Structure 1
Amino acid sequence: MKTIFLCAVATTALFAAPALAADKPEIAPWGFDAAGMDRSIAPGDDFLGYGGGAYLRQLEIPADRSNYGMFTRLRDLSQERTREIIQAAASGHAGKGSAGQKVGDYYASYLDEAAIEAKGLNPIKADLDAVAALGSKSAFAAALGDALRSYGPSPFLYYINQDEKAPDHYIPVFYQGGIGLPDRDYYLVDNPTYVDAREKYKAHIARMFSLAGVPAAEASKKAAAIYELEHKFAEVHWTVVDSRDSDKAYNKWTKSDFAAKAPGLDWSTFFAAAGLGNQNEFIVSQPSSFTGMAKVIAGADIATLRDWLTFKTLKDAAPLLPKAFVDENFAFEGTTLSGTPQIQPRWKRGVDSVNSALGEAVGELYVAKHFTPEAKAQADELVRNLIAAMDVRIANLAWMTPETKTKARAKLASFKPKIGYPVKWIDYSALEIVPGDAFGNAKRAAAFEYDRNLAKLGKPIDRDEWLMTPQTVNAYANPTMNEVVFPAAILQPPFFDPNADPAINYGGIGAVIGHEITHHFDDQGRKYDPTGKLADWWTPEDVKRFKVYTDQVVAQYGAYEPLPGARVNGELTLGENIADIAGLTVAYDAYRKSLGGKPAPVLDGFTGDQRFFLGYSQIWRQKYRDAQLQQQLATDPHTPGNWRPTAVRNLDAWYPAFDVKPGQKLYLPEDRRIHIW
């Protein structure tokens, strides 16, 4: 999906409290954790350390976390609040047949481990039997299509999105899948981390079969064959860098094109089983990958394909199966791949599952209790101020031609900010939730969401839809909608506090808002015109000048080395890094304008500019386990959070604010500071 998010959210995105001293910082009256600073560190050498070194020294990553920082700390709060809402629903306060009652029954069923244990593999027996009965490649194609209804396994995945070159229409967008390790590089690159993960993945596959009753020797044989199949898939997969290129990823195929361009799979049967039998046009994001994977399937024996689908069925169901499956799945996904020593408590996993299945039903209750009209009004004003500041910057650009500048300002003027929560909520009345049926509830919820999205085809674009729930601590930009979206849960300290000094709010949530606004003008977002259409609307001269700047961003961030021998991928993270630099720049302009020409007060010895930049540094205090950091560097378009404050070195105002001098580690000569927007 071409939606661009502020921060990556891991699949285990539920977080416990850190050590007490770090969790309850001493907040200055102006809204900043002054006690968390380390003033012995020179800001020009390590700005994150200066603004948060004391906090970070005390911070221990909780045992059930792969990383911990301000986003995750705020998610803790959202999690606790969501739990209270769900428990109230589960206690019988919600009316019979209401969304609240469904939320309560879903959660209670998830928590009933004794019932889940007693059922064993019975909930997925029909699914496993159906896979075991597959006797042909055509039957396998049907199984892949049918699995999509529960967001199950397939090398060929899709979602319903706007057609990027005709954004008034919905279209299925296909993308590559089929592998169980985080990225193709885990199969193909021989560094120690990846080699270790491969061997442990094979052992994990074998153990999953053993838990399902397959003898050990046979389980190991199946695991080896499944790994080899996925290795072949990985060989034809696109890289993460190529996959994020909007132009390369837009490839319109008709239904007949699949058989001609990707022979080896019974596509007609696949489409019929997926509910796409009447659809004629599709977008294929990685066409050569589809060609290659279809060829791999054509050359594979049916027994291996059955075993692959059996393993994937077990793995997808594992969180709702008996404890042995839960523990085995976490041992690989959580510990091996992310370095997390301990699984989350059941209640946290239950909250996460409810949010996935009935997210807006919970969100409506969350907003009513935890998001005031006053907070929304202040957030609305901040967004307006940031958009106005971005408009001034575009108007004053020296490198952009007047023709493109006019269109860029028109694009900005057409923005639709969404703040807090949707204006209409998903209707869950057709979703059946059965008390005591944890697996069935999750499967029906997935099918409900699948059908809800499938029903969009042929209908007008729903411009009120949200792609995140209000209780999500994140934000996003959607270029085909020309929108920026800020859920209620991120509009809280340390990002936003209505009682904080404006400099802190502009450095915190202001930079977040600026980040999302400027995503529409990053290396991919800038390709979408004022109507949200993927089109060439810049002059060739502008594109050429812009490329000079983006090459500088790639080089600057590509020099950072968060782990020994593992650098930031400057091309993969380009869009996020542009948004960090430009978003912070726009937020600073908006802050200065908010002063109305008056000097900012000095508070506790800090100037307004200092407080602005400190507010920014505060939101990026974060620690990672090495395995999680390695995975993020390989797969995530975001620079690791604890490196994102380096964006300040590109802002001229940061240098006098902290007396940053040549020779200090973050110092950049003026001609090397990047000023794109």
Structure 2
Amino acid sequence: MPNPRPLALALGLALATTLLALPAADAAKKKSGKKSTTSLVCTDFYSHANADWLAANKVSADSGMVSAMAQLGERARQQQIDLLNDDMQSAQGGVAKLLGDFWASGLDEAAVERDGANPVAPLLSRIDSIRRGKDVPAAVAALHQVGIPVLFNFGPDVDLADLGRHIGYFSQGGLGLPDPAYYTRSDADSRALLGRYTDYVSKILTLTGSKPEQLKADTQAVLDLETRIAQASKPLAALRDPRGNYALVPTAGLGKQYRSLQLDEFLKAQGVADDSVSLADPRLFAQLDALVGGLKAEQWKSYLRYHVGAAMAPYLSKAWRDVDFDFRGTVLRGETAPPPRQRQVLDAINLAAGPMLGREYVGRYLPATTRARATEIATQVRDALGRGIDRNSWMSAAAKAEAKAKLARLKIEVGAPARDLDYTVQPMGRGSFGGNMLIASTWRHREEMRRIGRGNADRRWNVLPQQPALAYDVAQNRLIVTAAMLQAPVLDMAQDAAAHYGAFGALVGHELTHGFDGVGRNVDAAGEVRDWWTPADKAAWDARTAQLATQYGAYPYPELKAKFVPGAQTREENAADLAGVELAWDALVAAQPALADTGKQWFFQGWARLWPQQMTTDVATRLAASDVHAPGQWRSNGPLADVPEFGGAFSCKAGTPMQREAAQQVKIWR
């Protein structure tokens, strides 16, 4: 199935949702005689603004957490299900019919049972035809073509020396366990996991045709080969820096350098004709080359059969799915039961044919007026950032000049990628869900390979339009807003215009500031990877974020006793939240200079109602240790306490919890 991109450079993701009700001004009028309600505005605006939501949404031990952001994701998933149901019932042709047939084939569990292992039979037959080591590379290339990466990973990503193009990245892979260290550790937990994995490999091999008398040998063949690959692979920690995964090499010499692997023929099979690729671990690929040249064909056949079975097991009959869930669901993911069938099929379609579904989703759920409104506000917030760059006191003149040049080149893309795909694909039909999965994943692999080449880096997004997301793509210097994000309550066209800025506009500001903060400083206006800040800029930025670390470090962590928000861990995202509110407010005031008090209150209501959440103590403990975002209460209240306009809108005096003294307030862009 399609594998993740080898670099983690391009996207930062923010999801948001809210349930908008009456503006605070109206609520205050209705309860003007109740001192407690009025004081709550100035002591805990989050609880005031989200009182109804918090009362209506209680967390259960099973769910662990409920939040407005998660609800938006669930709503988007239900919209996709509704769309697929309609396509299944009435689509007559085109992409809609492809999706309708795909959906119908997955929901027909009786047909899936009858189909059994038929979808993978041609792949297994191809593997069985291997007679010698020289036959292995062609089989590896063929499996990559259908979205089953074996032996190694290969996929498109940005060229770090030229962010305007994608290149192909050869990187480590080919293992059934998520960490190479699991194969070599000697501690009891790792040995136990390897034992469970061995049992899983045996069960998959049985389903793919291993005879009982040969099963133990076949299983050992797989584990031996994967252990050899793991021993030549780098630790996961060593893969976190994108620069460490990047080394440009000419494609012309790959066939001679890796004769047994035949990487030149591999690239031809994938349709890649670029003049260079990244291959950052030549030691690993030399070892893989030696394995292809040195191991017997029978061992390779066991390894390839296993990986076909493991990749396709979730999409085949119940016997396959049960084996898959018992290990990957229960052991690796800690799940207690498989998700509902509709959810399984939807996830499969998004994996293999996500851009197809995204095309239909945008057509149904993104009105032109909503797209235009989102583009208008995002453009206004971008302009506000330009004013913020001019007036801020912490940037040097040189950094301001570079920032303004970068801002001038920043692109805004709303709804879906501007460039469409080639939807030419083999008809799917309703008879074989597993077969349709292979058809769709072959199509998606083909389209991914077409990303490789000069001028193609902005061709696609790395998030689907049907997934709620708002992100700054640092590599392409662009703001991405998906169609699923542009609905109530983030951008509710029926609500007061000021609320649009407080919710959607502030999220835009949050993401745009990442192009010019401690992350964005590493890519300049020309798209080159370099630090364009001076030491003085860095020192000034660090001083501001240190103030935020102190501020948030004094906030108690919800659901945890004697535990406070980890200010140092969340400081960069806290700064982006504050910047988002500042820039959205600037954009609103510029658009509506005569803004009434009610509108001002709507703005802050919009921001606060993005973040309501309830969680168990276990979830809170985990998030406090790892999450780079503050909990919802403080994502809501923290920035507002630093903005004097909030105090003015609600008559909160300086020194109250929701209005810090002027000398204590942190400023980013104001």
Q: TM-score higher than 0.5 here?
A: yes
Give the structure 1 partner of residue 32 of structure 2. none
Sequence identity percentage: 24
Q: Deviations over 1:204-228 (max 9, x none)?
A: 4444445556559839964993697
| Partner in structure 2 of residue 127 of structure 1 | 123
Partner of residue 414, structure 1: 409
Residue of structure 2 in register with 1:91 after alignment: 89
2:166 maps to amino acid: Y
Question: Tell me, what secondary structure is at the counterpart of 2:420?
Answer: coil
Which structure has the bigger radius of gyration? 2
**Contact 1:187/1:231 (CA < 8 Å) preserved in 2?**
no
Which residue identity does 1:601 align to in structure 2? T
1:149 is aligned to 145
Q: Alpha-carbon deviation of 1:439?
A: 1.9
Contact preservation (8 Å) 1:210, 1:219: no
**1:623, distance to aligned residue in structure 2 (A):** 4.5
Equivalent AA in structure 1 for residue 475 of structure 2: T
Corresponding residue for 2:638?
Answer: 648
Corresponding letter in the other structure for 2:317? P
CA 454–414 in structure 1, closer or farther in 2 if over 3 Å, else same: same
Aligned residues: 645
Contact 1:162 1:480 in 2 (8 A): yes
8 Å contact 2:13–2:470 — kept in the other structure?
yes
Shift of the alpha carbon at 1:317? 0.6
Which string of whole-angstrom CA distances, capped at 9 and with x for unpartnered residues, describes residues 26-60 of structure 1? Answer: 852349999xxx98998999876676577457646
Cα distance in 2 between the residues matched to 1:628 and 1:305: 46
Contact 2:88 2:99 survives alignment (8 Å) = yes
Q: Evaluate the alpha carbon distance shift between residue 529 and residue 358 of structure 1 in structure 2; reply closer, same or farther with a 3 A threshold.
A: same
Report deviation, 1:581.
4.6
Tell me, in whole angstroms, the C-alpha distance in 2 between the residues paired with 1:141 and 1:550.
52
Bigger mean CA deviation after superposition, 358-367 or 470-479: 358-367
Q: Aligned ranges for residues 508-547 of structure 1 at < 5 Å?
A: 508-539=503-534, 541-543=536-538, 546=541
2:549 and 2:568 in contact (8 A); partners too: yes
Deviations 1:386-433 (A, max 9, x none): 112211221123222212211211211222211223455333134432
Question: 2 CA distance for matches of 1:224 and 1:660?
Answer: 69
Distance 1:277 1:505, change over 3 A: closer
- The aligned counterpart of 2:347 is 352
Q: Secondary structure of 1:419's partner?
A: strand
Asked whether 1:117 is paired with 2:113, we answer: yes
Cα shift at 1:558: 10
Q: Which residue of 1 aligns with 2:587?
A: 590
Please tell me whether the aligned partners of residues 203 and 220 of structure 1 are also in contact (alpha carbons under 8 angstroms).
no
d(CA) in 1 for partners of 2:221 and 2:582? 51
Question: Aligned with 1:110: secondary structure?
Answer: helix
Match of 1:14 in 2: none
| Corresponding residue number in structure 2 for 1:392 | 387
C-alpha change, 1:227 and 1:140, in structure 2 (3 Å) is closer
Which SS does the other structure have where 1:236 is aligned? coil
Aligned CA distance change for structure 1 residues 662 and 518 (closer, same or farther; 3 Å): same
In structure 1, distance between residues paired with 2:24 and 2:321: 41
SS of residue matched to 2:597: coil
In angstroms, what is the RMSD of aligned CA positions?
Answer: 5.2
Q: Distance in 1 between matches of 2:388 and 2:273?
A: 47
Q: Which amino acid aligns with 2:593?
A: G
Q: Would you say 1:78 and 2:81 are equivalent positions?
A: no
The answer to whether 1:601 aligns with 2:595 is: no
Q: Deviations over 1:348-384 (max 9, x none)?
A: 3333333444444444443343322222222122102
Listed as ranges, the matches of 1:188-587 within 5 Å are 201-212=197-208, 215=212, 218=216, 222=220, 225=223, 229=227, 232=230, 236-239=234-237, 243=239, 245-255=241-251, 266=261, 268=263, 271-272=266-267, 274-275=269-270, 278-284=273-279, 287-288=280-281, 291-292=283-284, 295=287, 298=290, 307-423=302-418, 425-458=420-453, 460-461=455-456, 463=458, 465-539=460-534, 541-543=536-538, 546=541, 579-587=576-584
Q: Could you tell me which amino acid in structure 2 is paired with residue 253 of structure 1?
A: V
**Does structure 1 residue 100 correspond to structure 2 residue 96?**
yes
Q: CA deviation at 1:132?
A: 5.3
Deviation per residue, 1:313-355 (Å, 9 max, x gap): 2221122111132233234444444444333322333333334
Aligned to 1:28: 21
Structure 2 counterpart of 1:109, one-letter code = S
| Distance verdict in 2 for CA 1:88–1:406, change over 3 Å | same
Distance 1:55 1:425 in 2: 39
After superposing the two structures, state which structure 1 stretch, 621-630 or 579-588, moved more. 621-630
Do the aligned partners of residues 631 and 614 (structure 1) sit closer, same or farther apart at CA in structure 2, a change above 3 Å counting?
closer
Aligned residue number for residue 162 of structure 2: 166
DSSP 3-state at the match of 1:379:
helix
Q: Secondary structure at the match of 1:283?
A: strand
Q: Bigger CA drift: 472-481 or 230-239?
A: 230-239
Distance, in Å, in 2 between the alignment partners of 1:476 and 1:389 is 18
Q: Distance in 2 between matches of 1:26 and 1:115?
A: 41
Judged with a 3 Å threshold, the aligned counterparts in structure 2 of structure 1 residues 233 and 408 are, in CA distance, closer, same or farther, namely farther
- Answer whether contact 2:313 2:324 (CA < 8 A) is retained: yes
CA positional deviation for 1:306: 5.1
Is the Cα contact below 8 Å between 2:388 and 2:669 reproduced in 1? no
Residue 347 of structure 1 aligns with an amino acid whose one-letter code is Q
**Distance in 2 between residues matched to 1:570 and 1:448, nearest whole Å:** 45
- The one of 11, 15, 20 aligned to 1:4: 11
Query: Structure 1 residues 151 and 409, CA, compared in 2 at 3 Å: closer, same or farther?
Result: same
User: Compared with structure 1, are the counterparts of its residues 508 and 341 closer, same or farther at alpha carbon in structure 2 (3 Å cutoff)?
Assistant: farther
Q: Deviations over 1:265-308 (max 9, x none)?
A: 72536734653674431234xx35x6347547857966766555
Q: 1:89 to 1:450 in 2, by over 3 A?
A: same
- Deviation digits for residues 503-560 of structure 1 (CA, Å, limit 9, x no counterpart): 5433322232123322323434332222433345444554565566678889999999
> Structure 2: where are the runs of 5+ without partners?
1-6, 28-35
Q: Cα gap change, 1:464/1:170 in structure 2, threshold over 3 Å: closer, same or farther?
A: closer
Q: In the alignment, is the contact (CA less than 8 A) between 1:557 and 1:568 conserved in 2?
A: yes
Q: Deviations over 1:628-664 (max 9, x none)?
A: 9969977xx8648758727825961289579799998
Whole-angstrom CA distance in 1 between matches of 2:106 and 2:624:
30
Q: Amino acid of the residue matched to residue 311 of structure 2?
A: D
